[in-house]
Every structure is written in structure tokens, then in C-alpha cells.
Structure 1
Amino acid sequence: MSEQKLAVNEYLKTDSDFLRGTIKEGLATQVTGSFCEGDQQLIKFHGFYQQDDRDLRNERKAQKLEPLHSFMLRARVPGGVCTPQQWLDVDRISSTLTTSNSIRLTTRQTFQYHGIPKRNLKTLIQGLDQTALDSIAACGDVNRNVMCNPNPVQSQLHQQAYQVAKELSDHLLPHTHAYAEIWLDKDKLVDTQTREPVYGHTYLPRKFKMAVAVPPDNDVDVYTNDLGLIAIAQDGELVGFNLTAGGGMGSTHGDVETFPRLADNLGFIYTKDVIKFAEAIMKIQRDWGNRVNRRRARLKYTIVDNGFDKFKAEVESRAGVKFEPMREAVIGDRGDRYGWVEGIDGKWHLTLYIESGRIKDVEGKMLQTGLREIAKVHKGDFRMTSNQNMIIAGVDAADKDQIEGLARQHGFFGKVISQTRGHSIACVALPTCPLAMAEAERYFPDFIDHVDRLQQKHGIAEQAIVVRMTGCPNGCARPFAAEIGLVGKAPGRYNLYLGASFEGTRLNKMHKENIQEAEILSELDQLFEQYAQQRNAGETFGNFTVRTGIVKAVHDAAKDFHG
């Protein structure tokens, strides 16, 4: 039998000399704004994607010009925490080295730049390095930015959980010296197989995501990650975690072999064993993961194809530690606490709503300038949330008025945030994402306006509904874990998904396919009317749609999501 042909990316990684490829040579070539096709895949491991402005494609093609190439760079910021000085440096870089002159907070608690000309890439990465930030492993077939609940109220427990997230992020970085050589002008080192003890010569079959949740919050959507850690505390001290594995949002339209999935519960582990278990799971994915079909290369498919019991036994074998039974932990709200809250340490924390995470100065809302001015006087830290918002954390009571005054002055308090708007997110989509089939970020604010009006019409405005929109089914804004999920199918057309739980413990299911705004809103109008009239006390919208048979519950994604 002939050997099965691997996915193209596997050969690229094998031949890349540990992620070097010809990136350095391509960077020096200024006759084009792009990298060669193979290097376009390798640069993802260094934290950035090649993009172009799709709004201008046809115009430039008519002028016989290449697409207007630029780059999106995503930083690695474990747990989303940075200092005010780091934020000032991040802001300065945006203003001087990007054409977008904006910063976007992502759904994984970091920030990304859009519109970076190729000629500015090296200067930008060196600027991040000077402020103790980097972009290595923010993308690519490696462990991505590790999320952690940013709750500043439980200050001691958050700090302990955050340290675990940071240790995981640092420990699981690729060992290759390619990033330092290409971008930071370090001397070349000779890499060998032993220099990538976790990843090996060809790294993982696909991306890998981790998150740390601190109950009762599930703002990090812990069950949507390849590996999740749910913090277990006793008397306010972290003792360990319930470990989950096998979550992931991406799927492909029309391919029933692909599906989103929520993670399985494996058991309780002590804090001292977290690195052992994380390494064990990643090495299993490295060795067992699908390297032929990238559409089925995430850990969720590895578990489905091999069976839960076999996978769990292999994890325990490689970790050298047995799981204990799951400890009791109740997770609930996935939203952020807007406005001021006081922590148990007497410090105050201000959560600012930032629509779709886009930090940019526009008339009436000078958000980028506002955060810059706050950073100049703030003595605590900045915390990016997985809902694309910013927490000004660790404010002394004496400094509250100054911080709030700056926020008000620059437009952060200008609009009342509905319960649903405050729980909802969208991906970037058009015009820069090459995978987008429909609008998301640019259209989402208007769409939520429609949803707000419908909720007010039916007297249910007080009920938060988790709404998420993406321009494609890759799932960057976790749409399949939303009570109302909209996934782009074509320009102006979306698949409508219903039935996820408010807490993020059950997936949704497709209700209507390939429909436009008028039909979406008409459908929601009818559903909200039913919900207002027939809901049980305390019943969330997602649970209502399942209980009343509007959609069937998804218990086993491999069988139920498409069935």
C-alpha cells in the first residue's frame, strides 16, 4: 500500500529548517508587498498573517496592480495582562507603523495590528520586544495565546490562576531560534530535533488553544478550547483544576465530517501537575493528530477518532499521574462586569466596553487617545478580556475620579450598553480576512441595534442573550457556543444557529440556512414573541429554544450537530 500523502503544510514545516524557510530573504525583497506562498504559512508561527484589502481587489486588478498587501500581527499576551507603559508602547507602534492606526482587542485576550506594510514588520516586532512583548506562537500550528479569567475582584485567586496561564504560555513556546534571528538580529543557532521536545520537527498538525477559567465566570469559554483548566479553590487558595480537552469551534460549510465541539471533562489535577498534563496532551496530539486532512486535524477529532477512554488512558500514561474525580465547580456568566467594581483588596476596577474590540479615534469616540491618556496616569494594570473589552485594573480609590473623567471625556460612557450587546462579539471578517464570506465586525453594531429593538418590543430587554457573528465557519468569535449564532455563508447571507446554553456548556444547532437580514430579523421577532409568552421563570433564551423543540439539543457533536 502506498504511503498516504500528507497535507501541504506538513511538507512546508519539514523543509522549513525549524520555521525559518526563506522568510529573511522575502523580507529583504521590496519589489513586492507579499511573501512567497510557502512563507505565507510559516510567518503565522511568527505571529502574523498576510492579508489584502478586499474592498480594493477589483480596482487594483483593473489597474494591473498586485493586491494591496499588508499584514495582521497578533501579540502573545498570556491572560491579557499588560502594564500601562507597555500599552503606551503598543499605542505608539500602532500610530507610527500601521496604516490602520488602530488596535484591535481579540477574542483571545490579546491585541492585533492591521495594515502593517512589509517594510515595517521588523521594526514593529523589535518595538514589541523592547517593551517585553512578542508575537511568537500567536498563530500557527502551536499552542496559541493562553487565556485566563481577568476577574480583578478575586485578586489573590486571579493572580494564582494567571501565573499558571503564564507558565503554560512560556513553557510551551517553540524552542526554535528562528524568531530571534529573523526579527531581532540574533546570531543563528543550530537547531536539532531535541530543541523542540514538545513539538518535534513538524510541530502540531493544527493550532492548539488553552484557557484557564475561574468559577463562577466562564468568560474565556473554557469548553471551546483544546485544553481547559477550571480553577478549584479552597478558602480562597488555588489547589488545582478540573481539566477538559477536545473543544474547538471551526468547521467547514457542507462538510459533515467537520463540526464544532465542546471539550470533555477528564478529571481533577493538582496545580503542581498542570505542566505534565499539558505536555502529555500536546504530545498525543503531535503523535496521533491527523496530518493528512487539515480540516480534521484539531484535537477534538483526535479524541473522537480514537475514543475518549483510550485518549484519557494515554494522557495518564504520558503524564505519569492519574486523574482524580472532578471537583464541584459551577460556571455561569460569560459576560464582563461593566463600570466600576471593588476588589477584595480594596482596589477598584473599571471595565470599559469597546465595540468589537476596535480601539480607534473617530468623531465623538476618541478611544485610542483616551486609553493613551489613562495609561499615562494609571498605576495598576490593563487587562484585555475575551469579550474584547478593557479593564483598567488596580485603581486606588483616590484615583477613581481622574480615571473615570478621562474615560468620559473620550467617549467611553457615551452609549447605554444593553445586556445582550454586552454579552456579544464578532470577528474581523471583511475587508481584511481572506476567509471571510460575509461581513461581521462592520455590520454587527447595526445588527445588535435591531436585536435590542426586538427585545424591547417584546419586553425581554432585561434578559441577556449571547449573540455572536462570524464571516465564515472557522469560528474565531466562537459562534457555535452562542445562543444566537450567525455564520457567514455569502455576502449578506448567514446561517442562523440557536440553542447553545447561556453558560457555554452546550453547542447550538443550525435553525435556518443561507438567509438575509430581513428573514433573520423576522425569525427572531417570532422567536422573541414566543419566548416572552412561554418562558419559564429564569429560563434563558438558548434553553427555551431547546425545551420547546425549536432546535434539538446537541449532546454529541459528532452525531448531533449535523443530524
Structure 2
Amino acid sequence: MTHNLQQKSKLSAEEKLKEGSRYLRGTIKESLADPVTGSVTGDDAKLLKFHGTYQQDDRDLRTERMRQKLEPAYSFMVRVRMPGGVCTPTQWLQLDELALKYANNSLRITTRQTFQFHSVVKRHLKSTIAGINQALLSTIAACGDVNRNVVCHNNPYLSPLHGEVYEWAKRLSDHFLPKTHAYHEIWMDKEQVVGTFPEKEEPLYGETYLPRKFKIGIALPPSNDIDVFSQDLGLIAIAKNERLEGFNVCVGGGMGMTHSEPITYPRLGDIIGFCTPDQLLEIAENVVKIQRDFGNRSDRKQARLKYTIDSRSIDWFKAELAQRLGWALLPAHPFYFERNSDSFGWVQDTRGYWHLTLCLLSGRIRDIPDQPLMTGLREIAKIHRGDFRLTTNQNLTIANIFKADKPRIEALLEQHCVPTPDQFSAVWRDAVSCVALPTCGLAMAESERMLPEFLTRLEAVMAKVGLANDSITVRVTGCPNGCARPYISEIALVGKSLGHYNLYLGAGFAGERLNKLYRESLTEDDIITVLTPILAHYAQDRQKGEHFGDFVIRAGYVDEVKAGREFHSIRPEKTVQIA
């Protein structure tokens, strides 16, 4: 299936591993059964990603364990596949029980609109994944070189359109699920089929799957809460008179890059046309197939769809897609996005049901002194007759609350000291972070653990200059891979080394423009010092309705980034007059 320009002799080690893995089986069973170590083999650790789990270790303990001549404190992150971020109260309680029994007494909402468990040790890994499946959920393809969790606008019941969008998210998710039997053999003890493993076991992906991960998201204007331009395949729902007419198709988005390697960069997707709902699956499948056949399988840093497109051209991509389809997409329809953050608080729909969106900083659900959040949500799940909806900004909607149940849920929130969104500033509500230290092996700096203190300091500055009630998007990641989608945040901190961050400014408030590097390797103190006069300048000289990201471009702090390949371009320094 790989394009013939990519010679097998040039394939990356990961490609050869996938090819020889017998459709993701590897020696995972043997690694799990090895009682001598808390880890699995290096090859099996890579294959486990396709099964929805990453091997990690507690980096806070590395030095001490090395001193004691012990192996690292290995554990596993387990990610749930949950298209559209929807789960029932029963599923919530089942996941909650697994977190208490096998993980670190917490659940974490991810930027892919699903849950992660952390600190699951190897002897509990199989029970955890089996338990997730018993809840009628799964972990397969939550990670790995496949289509990941399909995301969509988070509240399907505020209009009939939301329900349709959510159904399409589920259909796309099901359509691109791997077909290998390995998952059920390993985690649910299904018997292996005797004989060889024919190619038809993966009729779409083949034995080497995709060159890298692939992400699909559906936005419903005017909300761009899922950051549709950051997706490999972004779909913008187009409606007229409360009727879904189809989707604008956007391709080639992606956030990840590597510091000091300008050939890697974030990229926003290009809108290539419009399709009707009945054309969507055919288009999506052929977009995936183009990436399967032409994606770079020699250099994983160049293997995302964004590089496949930029190494040729967007016109080439459109022509290749039209050739495979036998027809061309229609011209894109007009649309408008207002913001890429969530809407918070209580709202009632036309049927009389209530919905409450809570602000959960970094998506972390756990009990802490004076705020037993996890317990409170557990008690709500016991009486709730609707469902729960996760957002890609790591927040939570308790959806479809019966009118009669609203007072009981409000009482439980108060009893467990769960803060309502109006108790937070706008900048706090819209902030996003990745996990980073101590568990992520890629983290160069803190993210989730540093965010509360940083936001508190930033809030103080904003209040001092008269911006206490203003919305400015802030995102923090511990490395440049971009899990928290930092490059489409008005203010972004990207970890460079322990305690130091690159500061990016100037993204569009609705996620329609990338930001730009402003300063390198700053400490948290440095960042506050640098931002203070810029925020004061913004408060004094902004135009009516002007967002912070637009202002810093107009004022000359950073240049506008019009394409991903311009992200690293350097300009002569301009003098900025601060009034």
C-alpha cells in the first residue's frame, strides 16, 4: 500500500516493527506475563499504543530509584476511545471504580474529548482495559498510527443539528476502527484464529497501518471548540434553517513540531470544498487512503498529513482526491466562528432539559482537601438520568438534566464544594494544559502542575491593568508536540527545559490563525514580567472588539503567521512603543 517512491530499505524502524507485528500482536502477551519487571519490551511498548496505552515512569522518582539501583517506577497511561466525548452515568461510575481500584484515584479529561487513567501498573493493565470494555467502551486506536478518537461539538442536544453531528462522529469512529483480532485476544482472552494472518484482517490500514496518527474533528459554527483547523481531517457542519446541508472539508492540520528543527512546524488545515452528508464517509476514507499511500514512512517527524500535503501541494492533494472519488468537491460554503473555547454554566434546551458545563482546570477529576470533586461527580452520576459530555478544552457538561433533578444536582455540587464557572475568571476558564511531568516521557517542563499558580499570577496582572473580565486564551504544554493545541492560543507557553518556556503570541481567538514565537527560554517570572507591559498596552490601546491575539500583531509584537511554513520565519526586530 505504501507509495512506490518509498523503498522498503528506507523504512523507519517503526514501519518494520508494524509489518512484523502480526497485526499488532507482537510479544505483548509474553511481556505482560513477565513478573521480573514492571515494564514491557521496547517494541511491545510501541505496539501497545495501538491498544490505547503508553508505558511511562514516574520521573519524580527516577534519580532516587537509580541511586537505589532499582528500575524506574514504571506504569501505564490508559486512554479510552469515546467518540464525541459522551458517556452514560453507568459508564461514568464504572470508569470511576476502575480509577479508584487500578489508577491513581483520578480521571483526566483529555484534549481529544476522552478519559485517561494514569499510574496503572503492569499487573493491573489487563484488568483495567477489560473493565473499560465491560463498560461498553474501548481503548483500541485511542493512540497509535491510526485514526484516533473522533471529536465533535460537545452538546448535541441544544438543537437537532448537534444530534446529527454527534451521530456522524460515531459513524466515522466506527468506520476507521482497526479490524485486527489482536485486541480481543490479548485483553479479553478471545481465542486466536488458527493459521496465517491474511491482508483482509486490515482491509483499509494494511499490515503497516498509517505513517503516523490521524485526527478527525467536526465543528458546528459559530463554535470552534474542537479547533477544527488543527485536525488532519476537519469537518465544518453547514446548516440552513436547522437542517444539516453538509460539511466543508478541511485537510492538513496538525500541532506537533520539534524545537530547533524548522522543517517541523504546526499547520492549520486548508478548506478544499464542500460535501453532502451522503458523500462524507467516501471522502473521509479516501483522505485517509491518500495519507496511507503517500505519507512519509522513512522519517516519522515528517509523517503527518500536513507534511504529505506541503511536500507536494494542496492542488496536488485535491487532484488526487478527485481522481480517487471520480468527482470533485463542491465549493466551500460560507461560515463564521466566534471562539474556540467552551460556553459555561446552566442552559435549558427547547425540550425543557438542563445542561451544566463545569470548568475543570486541566481536566483533572480527583478529590483534594476541601474539594472532593471526584466524589461529588460520583454522587451526581448515581442520580443523573441524562449523560455526561467531555469537551476538547478539558471541561465537563452534565447534560440532559431532568427539571426535577436540577435542585438535587445543585445541592450535590454545593455539598462537595464543586465551584460553579462564575467563580473563575475568563482566562482561568479558557486555559488548557497537557499532563507533562511527572509521567510523560516527552515532557521538558511542567505544565498541569504549574498552571494554577501561573494563572493566579496572570489574573493579578490582568486585574491590575483593567482586564479582569476579558477572555484571553492561554495554553501550556511541557514539550513542543502540542497536545494542548498551544499554537492556536493567544498566549502559549511551550516547555523548552525544566522551568523554562518559549512564549508564543498572536493566535486567532477562534483558532483560525497560528501564533508566533515572541521570546525563548523564559522562566515563569520572566513570562509575567514580559507580559505585564503588553497587557497594559492592550488594555489602553485596543480597538473596540479587538482580541488580544489580533492586537499583538497590529501593535507589532509579532508578525501574522499565514501558513505553517512561515511559523519559524525570523524578521528584523521592530521597536514597539508602549504607551
- Shorter-chain TM-score range: over 0.9
> What is the aligned counterpart of 1:68 among 64, 73, 95?
73
Write the distance in 2 (CA, Å) between the matches of 1:372 and 1:105.
15
Displacement after TM superposition at 1:4 (Å): 4.9
Matching of residue 209 in structure 1 with residue 218 in structure 2: no
Contact 1:531/1:544 (CA < 8 Å) preserved in 2? yes
Map 1:125-524 → 2, pairs under 5 A = 125-152=129-156, 154-189=158-193, 190-413=196-419, 416-524=423-531
Deviations 1:171-210 (A, max 9, x none): 1011111001000111113532122122112000100011
Q: 1:561 — aligned with what?
A: 568
CA RMSD of aligned residues (A): 1.3
Paired residue type of 1:200: G
Q: Which moved more, 1:517-526 or 1:4-13?
A: 4-13
Q: 2:107 — aligned with what?
A: 103
Displacement after TM superposition at 1:413 (Å): 1.7
Gaps of 5+ in 1: none
SS in 2 for 1:145: coil
Contact 1:425/1:469 (CA < 8 Å) preserved in 2? yes
Q: 1:93 — aligned with what?
A: 98
Q: 2:87 — aligned with what?
A: 82
Contact 1:498/1:509 (CA < 8 Å) preserved in 2? yes
Displacement after TM superposition at 1:268 (Å): 0.6
Which TM-score applies when normalising by structure 1?
0.98
Matching of residue 25 in structure 1 with residue 30 in structure 2: yes
> What is the aligned counterpart of 1:530 among 533, 537, 541?
537
Contact 1:420/1:452 (CA < 8 Å) preserved in 2? yes
Paired residue type of 2:145: D
Size of the alignment, in residue pairs?
A: 562
Contact 1:155/1:345 (CA < 8 Å) preserved in 2? no
Which TM-score applies when normalising by structure 2?
0.95
Write the distance in 2 (CA, Å) between the matches of 1:407 and 1:209.
34
Deviations 1:258-281 (A, max 9, x none): 000000001110111111111101
Write the distance in 1 (CA, Å) between the matches of 2:83 and 2:40.
28
Paired residue type of 2:231: N
Write the distance in 1 (CA, Å) between the matches of 2:538 and 2:255.
27
> What is the aligned counterpart of 1:545 among 552, 555, 575?
552
Q: 2:576 — aligned with what?
A: none
Deviations 1:63-93 (A, max 9, x none): 1100000000000000000000000000011
Note closer, same or farther for the CA distance 1:262–1:51 as it changes in structure 2 (3 Å cut): same
Write the distance in 2 (CA, Å) between the matches of 1:560 and 1:364.
44
Write the distance in 2 (CA, Å) between the matches of 1:316 and 1:404.
53
Contact 2:108/2:363 (CA < 8 Å) preserved in 1? yes
Deviations 1:315-341 (A, max 9, x none): 122233321111111112222222211
Paired residue type of 1:482: S
Contact 2:345/2:420 (CA < 8 Å) preserved in 1? no
Note closer, same or farther for the CA distance 1:353–1:560 as it changes in structure 2 (3 Å cut): closer
Note closer, same or farther for the CA distance 1:23–1:554 as it changes in structure 2 (3 Å cut): same
Write the distance in 1 (CA, Å) between the matches of 2:384 and 2:500.
44
Displacement after TM superposition at 1:411 (Å): 1.9
Paired residue type of 1:466: T
Paired residue type of 2:147: N
Deviations 1:9-39 (A, max 9, x none): 1111011000000001111111100000101
Write the distance in 2 (CA, Å) between the matches of 1:320 and 1:139.
32
Paired residue type of 2:418: F
SS in 2 for 1:55: coil
Displacement after TM superposition at 1:152 (Å): 4.5
